[in-house]
Structure 1
Amino acid sequence: MSVEYPGGYDPDLRLSRNFGMLHDKESSACVIRKSFILDPAMRVHMISEYPLFVGRNIDELLRVIRALQLRAETGAATPADWHWGDVAIIADNRTEADVIRQFRARSAQLMPYLRVVDPTQT
């Protein structure tokens, strides 16, 4: 499987300095592990930062990307530790007809303030 994504080359560390990826107390020559998730319009949706000696969790980055895509496609929100296949949170003011039309599934009111739907039906 091939995964294509844009990357950067920064031999003089100019971009690293501009993005706050150098921490003098850690190292003046090695960058910390920082990830940015941008949408097609180049708006930042997430920044995560790990110390120099801790690797990033790619599964977490992919989880966040999928949650952001779900939000962009449907307006639904995702709870902590959400993964594709789990229910998503929807606004109380959406009509049930609208939910069924968009998700092809009925919503469930779990609490007076918490309404969910299965987004995998779409």
Structure 2
Amino acid sequence: METTIGFPQLNAPAPAFDAETTHGRKTLEDYKGKWLILFSHPADFTPVCTTEFIGFQSRKAEFDAMNCELLGLSIDSHHSHNAWILNVKEKFGVDLEFPIIADLNMKVASAYGMIHPGAADTSAVRATFFIDPNGILRAMVYYPMSNGRQIDEFVRLLEAMQTSDANKCATPENWRKGDRVIVPPAATVEEAKARMASGEYECKDFYFCTKEL
């Protein structure tokens, strides 16, 4: 069956899906009201992918605490996924507790732009998508097939986006919880002057002010 490769866009609705997983059928609508990290891997029973899935599982409690679900995907069968999950338990002692989409027809992978012919025609690259509780695609990260992802960065990024949403602020490079945040630039000269004189903010200049939360 011919599929159309999509080009997902930030701050636009994430492509809808209805797919068979290791936890039964899942749709995008099932995750409404929660954050979702949808991540693809090239194939089951491969070493880099195994380390990544163990890495995601090791941080699952943190994602749960941030109201975020995990959902894996590869262009493998439902039976292959189940066998791999059992193998990871047997060989590494790790239970993979999140569902994995069996995307044999590449419908979901194509809708999310996970198929890059320059890398492989029938394998999904290491793509990661952050979808917010309203179904909006908020971030996406691509890695080459040869190199594994750093799950700590995904925890950090999710926490940063949630902080920005809750406080109408931005976060600087390598921001961590408890660090100062960046406030939006002042809309007027008068507001800029008042802000710099207020003592509430730490300002390097009128356009660069931070504060503690």
Task: Return the structure number with greater helix share.
Answer: 2
Counterpart for residue 107 of structure 2: 14
Match of 1:107 among 201, 204, 213: 201
Superposed CA deviations along residues 42-77 of structure 1, whole A, max 9, x for unmatched, are 011101111111211211111111111111111011
Gaps of at least 5 residues in structure 1 are 97-105
> What is the aligned length?
112
Question: 1:26, 1:67 → 2: CA distance?
Answer: 31
Question: 1:6, 1:109 → 2: CA distance?
Answer: 38
TM-score (norm 1): 0.77
1:58 pairs with 2:151:
yes
For the residue of structure 1 that corresponds to 2:128, the secondary structure is strand
TM-score (norm 2): 0.47
1:75 pairs with 2:168:
yes
Larger Rg: 2
> Which one-letter code corresponds to 2:162 in the other structure?
Q
Gaps of at least 5 residues in structure 2 are 1-58, 72-99
Question: 1:64, 1:2 → 2: CA distance?
Answer: 15
Alpha-carbon RMSD across the aligned residues, in angstroms, is: 2.5
For the residue of structure 1 that corresponds to 2:142, the secondary structure is strand
For the residue of structure 2 that corresponds to 1:54, the secondary structure is coil
